[in-house]
Structure 1
Amino acid sequence: MRRAVLATFTIGAALALTALPVQAQSSPGVDAAKKVVRVGAFAPITGPVPFYATINHATDAFFKDLNERGGIRGWKVDYVVRDDGYDPAQSLAITRRLVENDDVFALVTSNGTATNIAIIPYARSKGLPVIAPSGGSPKIIAEANMFPLLPDYALSAASSARYALDVLKKDKIALVWENDELGRRAKLGLEMYLKSRNLAPVADASFDVASTDLSAQVQRVTTAGAQVVLLFGANTHLASAQRAASRISWKGDWFAPFFVADPATYDLAGPLLDGTYFSSWLLPVNSDRPAIAAYRSAINKYYPNDKQGVFGLNGWSAGSLFALAFEKLLDSGKAVTRENIIEVMNSLKNVQAGATNAVSFEKGDHRGTRAEAMIRAEGGKFNLVQDFTPYPESVFKGVAPSGH
């Protein structure tokens, strides 16, 4: 993938041909006469986690596939993806470029938690819609113009702990966490949920995102008597931790966030990954849902070298969310403006976008995801072992947004 990627997708006329005409208007990134809307994203095409760019590949593939199937009333989408190297300072600079030079209407699938947090003041000042940012943080959820699919990782950690306690019947739980917003939220959620059960983590150990050897962290939590370890970091971190645990013959259970439930993790960890649990807001890639089958087919066609998994499903679902909202805006007959797409996003209720369960947004609460399923790795596959279950109420209420 080039450092700057420009892709144009035609969104055709197959759906609801009798919709009211879109009003003439002048809005950034919109050419109503030519029926073109330009959206953009930043992605770590280079840097410490280049495999995350697979997410944006899938958004690209979604729009291309949608075009070939007729799309949405003849509109085209220019999708501009630029490399930020997973550096928050660069993410802000790239967002400025996307808005002020590329003239984008909105961001779709802007990639990363810390990187999305870095653009908040600028995006707010511009009234820039940020749709399905690939990051999980209450700071993102609290913004009136940001509509994340990803949950607050505090909720994912709480869901994992609940499963360990209620299904596995194990109460000695530890956390190994990336020392940034991702890990800090997981730590908060785990501690909050265990406290509600009159428990506490037996230990926790943090690591930097650039860490390649987690032996010391694993030694710390296993020595404390952990039966279960939640690891909140990248798939490279999980693989390192599992290798370290194997060297000391630790036989407990591993839990990790949804984005690690990916074939690329098997490439890194091999059979050590078998038995690992993942609390996920997405169905697994081998699901028979038509939208997921369409994802597999489109990736085979447009990005045949990409591993098919949760990274791709994330991006595919993000593209689907934008398309659903854009279609609803066209149906309304209102002008295609940033203000109106934000209004539409706040009206979505229990929609299925790609591999998601039921997504809702309302003014004052942009927690699009309200439940997670449990997935287990086994024999190179990721299988659903528990259907979507609402987040533990004590944590869901405890981390509720305070309003916009």
Structure 2
Amino acid sequence: MRRRSFLSTGGAVAASAALPGWAQAQQASPGIDTATKTVTVGAFTPISGPVPFYTILTHAAESCFKWANETNALNGWKINYVTYDDGYEPARSVAVTRRLVEENKIFALAAATGTAQSVAVIPYAKEVGLPMIGPIGGATALFSERLVYPLLPDYGWSAAANLDYAFNGLNASRVALLWENDELGRSAQRGFDLHMSTNKKTPAESIPFEVRNTDFTPHVRRLANAKAEVVVLFGSNANLAAALKAAERIGYEAKWMAPFFTADPTTRKLAGSLLDGVYFSSWLLPVTSDDSDVKAYRDNVGKYYPNDPIGVFGLNGWSNGALFVKGFQMLLASGKPLTRANLVDVMETMTNQNVGGARNVSFKAGDHRGARQEGILQAAADGTFKLVREFRPYPAEVFDAKLA
């Protein structure tokens, strides 16, 4: 595994017992070095595998932590960020997390990349009492655990937001779903189907695909045969680009919609002009915003990773890193011992906070829904992504549905 760390730190002491697997609550947890005022956190990231460009997310989170260190955002404390390659394979994500806990003595996972990967880690995190702050994924399972604080929305909510715009913004009657056959896609399918049912409609098609799929010709032929007017695709940037290319090859014309993380220059690089006109739901402010938090993202990623594109994808990583920064600020301000248990407690008091490019982020006991609204963006021929519908709450029947 490849490891990356930008600040060294010393050892740590015992964990807290407020949740299963924790030791005395009045002692500092692993990852806390009071002598150097350093907190060590970690993440898994796909340097290898099918989506190596997802490391843009990790670069952005790391840039956020460097920015926090340099601006003294944590009142003298520094963040040490350790990451290892997991190849975007859930089993390897668990192995990486175990290594981070046992060898690097991390205080928490912070901005770890992957939906299925984060879900796979939950049982081990519960076993050792490890907080998961800002997992970069949108599966339903991430919202039902006390240790997990997702900033991203459930992809089911996003899929419903896309479908709602297809019905009411694009006036479509035949809408299909093309979904990645893992936790990401299944969560999207749940919200899509529920909103379909609420509107007393049925999908024109609902087609799963594997994350490593590169040829979407059979899938697109099914969409064409079903006469789908709008296709909502939930998968990677590479999946969206491949599907658009397949549609061009067979002459299938439809309007396409996708989740926020594909509204990014990385997708433009893969799809070229085929991306023009595609719609995306987004829970983040536009990357071109004059907002100070978004400007900090642009300036610092440009400083530390000048070859990475500035886009929604990177702002996502920055914002999930910023969630740990915000949570640790709150823990320091609380005056409580620096334990994993107390971090979990203070995270549940976060109310209407600005976190990176997200706004009005709130958590409370029994409700770990962070982002609560989305707007609709559209890819323009000049390479930008323009807001074509203002932010609105998610369809209520999906947002308020009982999570599995």
What is the RMSD of the two structures over their aligned residues, measured on CA atoms?
1.6
Q: Distance in 2 between matches of 1:341 and 1:239?
A: 40
SS in 2 for 1:300: helix
Per-residue deviation at 1:206? 1.6
Per-residue deviation at 1:275? 0.8
Aligned position for 1:386: 389
Aligned position for 1:223: 225
Q: Deviations over 1:51-90 (max 9, x none)?
A: 1111110011111122222322110111001111111111
8 Å CA contact 1:374–1:386 kept in 2: the answer is yes
The one-letter code sitting in structure 2 at the alignment partner of 1:346 is E
Aligned position for 2:6: 7
| Gapped regions of structure 1 (runs ≥ 5) | 11-22
Q: What TM-score, normalized by structure 2, do the two folds share?
A: 0.93
The one-letter code sitting in structure 2 at the alignment partner of 1:245 is A
Aligned position for 1:19: none
Per-residue deviation at 1:136? 1.0
Per-residue deviation at 1:348? 0.5
Aligned position for 1:312: 314
Q: Distance in 1 between matches of 2:97 and 2:165?
A: 39
Q: Distance in 1 between matches of 2:254 and 2:397?
A: 27
Aligned position for 2:369: 367
SS in 1 for 2:354: coil
Identical pairs, percent: 50
Per-residue deviation at 1:291? 1.1
| Gapped regions of structure 2 (runs ≥ 5) | 10-24
Q: Distance in 1 between matches of 2:237 and 2:261?
A: 8
8 Å CA contact 2:69–2:79 kept in 1: the answer is no
Aligned position for 1:13: none
Q: Judging changes above 3 Å, is the alpha-carbon distance between structure 1 residues 148 and 9 closer, same or farther for their aligned structure 2 residues? A: farther
8 Å CA contact 1:9–1:77 kept in 2: the answer is no
Aligned position for 1:16: none
Match 1:395 to one of 393, 398, 402? 398
8 Å CA contact 1:365–1:401 kept in 2: the answer is no
Q: Deviations over 1:280-331 (max 9, x none)?
A: 1112222221111111111111001111112211111012111111111111
Q: Distance in 2 between matches of 1:72 and 1:191?
A: 44
8 Å CA contact 1:175–1:221 kept in 2: the answer is no
Q: Distance in 1 between matches of 2:28 and 2:69?
A: 24
Asked if 1:298 corresponds to 2:310, the answer is: no
Q: Distance in 2 between matches of 1:228 and 1:26?
A: 53
Per-residue deviation at 1:24? 8.2
Asked if 1:204 corresponds to 2:214, the answer is: no
Q: Distance in 2 between matches of 1:344 and 1:386?
A: 34
Asked if 1:247 corresponds to 2:249, the answer is: yes
Q: Distance in 2 between matches of 1:396 and 1:25?
A: 38
Q: What TM-score, normalized by structure 1, do the two folds share?
A: 0.93
Q: Distance in 1 between matches of 2:308 and 2:260?
A: 18
Per-residue deviation at 1:8? 1.9
Per-residue deviation at 1:134? 0.6
SS in 2 for 1:176: strand
Counting only pairs closer than 5 Å after superposition, residues 146-295 of structure 1 correspond to structure 2 as 146-295=148-297
Q: Distance in 2 between matches of 1:200 and 1:307?
A: 38
Counting only pairs closer than 5 Å after superposition, residues 104-119 of structure 1 correspond to structure 2 as 104-119=106-121
8 Å CA contact 1:334–1:340 kept in 2: the answer is yes
